[in-house]
Amino acid sequence: MGVGHYENFPVASLLLPAPLREPVEIIYRFARSADDIADEGDDAPDERLRKLDAYRSQLASPREPLFRDVAKIIQQHGLPPQLFADLLDAFSQDVTTKRYENFSSVLDYCRRSANPVGRLLLHLFKRTTDSDLRRSDAICTSLQLVNFWQDVDVDWTQDRRVYLPQDEMARFGVTERHLQQKVCDESWRNLLSFQTRRTRELMLSGKDLGKSLPGRIGLEIRTTIQGGLRILEKIEAAGYDVFRRRPKLKAFDWPLLLLRSV
């Protein structure tokens, strides 16, 4: 999933109620450390998978401090252990899968790589109606997609990974030559325009979650949504040339995001 792919997710910020900052930080630490195993370092794929299997075993029988912390918040807050296992499944998939045949396969990956984070947050807040979970999934999946389009060049350069659906690349006349040579022609712009429009629609389909949740957590979610939408705006403003102008949030963006959120 890459180093940058948690940067748009809410973490234990000051917007969160104090009693929940520690469990959110533990969730983030677990996800980030497992993500690092999958994506970083010089280990061979078999060794990375072995380390992720060790994570799975410690979910069931915690021995190290991180996993004891995870076990503690699972017990204290009634968190579903399967959501942690889903994250590990996604990270293992990152080791073995570099291409995605269609958008359905990308969504299935997001279901395990991104959606568990939002669902765990909702369980912490005891807000787990079907509508809340559905909106959370829409937000988290779209945030993951935002990171994919934001990091197209990074993922290709680091390990020749392509999250763009293969069938949609073919439909728009885009090949891996575009990635190799950083070609931003009409075919590329049309493909990225299609991806950003669809991602924005998905993000907006979940936006009412930020309105329905109370106080600071509602503001946190609304700000996170606005952050994702802002990245999409920057992709469009760059003429979809994410090769030379990787869009990211800067200090001057935050007042705008907070204003839009309020």
Across 17-35, average pLDDT: 89
For range 173-192, the mean pLDDT: 98
**Do residues 157 and 151 touch, judged by C-beta distance below 8 A?**
no
Q: What share of the chain is helix, strand, coil (3-state, %, to 5)?
A: 75, 0, 25
Question: Do 173 and 226 reside in the same domain of the chain?
Answer: yes
Q: Which range marks the domain in which residue 30 is found? A: 16-96
Opening angle at CA 119, ends 226 and 250, nearest 5: 25
Q: Where is the domain boundary, 49, 70, 96?
A: 96
Total number of domains in the chain: 2
Q: Are residues 109 and 157 part of one domain?
A: yes
Residues 65 and 168 in one domain: no
Q: What is the CATH number of the domain that holds 252?
A: 1.10.600.10
Over residues 185-201, mean pLDDT? 98
Average pLDDT, integer, range 218-233: 88
The verdict on 83 and 50 lying in the same domain is yes
Residues 45 and 172 in one domain: no
CB 122, CB 144: distance < 8 Å = no
| Rounded Cα gap, residues 227 and 54, in angstroms | 35
What percent of the chain is predicted at pLDDT more than 70? 88
Answer yes or no: are the C-beta atoms of 161 and 226 closer than 8 Å.
no
Question: Within this chain, do residues 22 and 59 fall inside the same structural domain, yes or no?
Answer: yes
pTM of the full predicted structure? 0.88
Are 51 and 111 part of one and the same domain? no
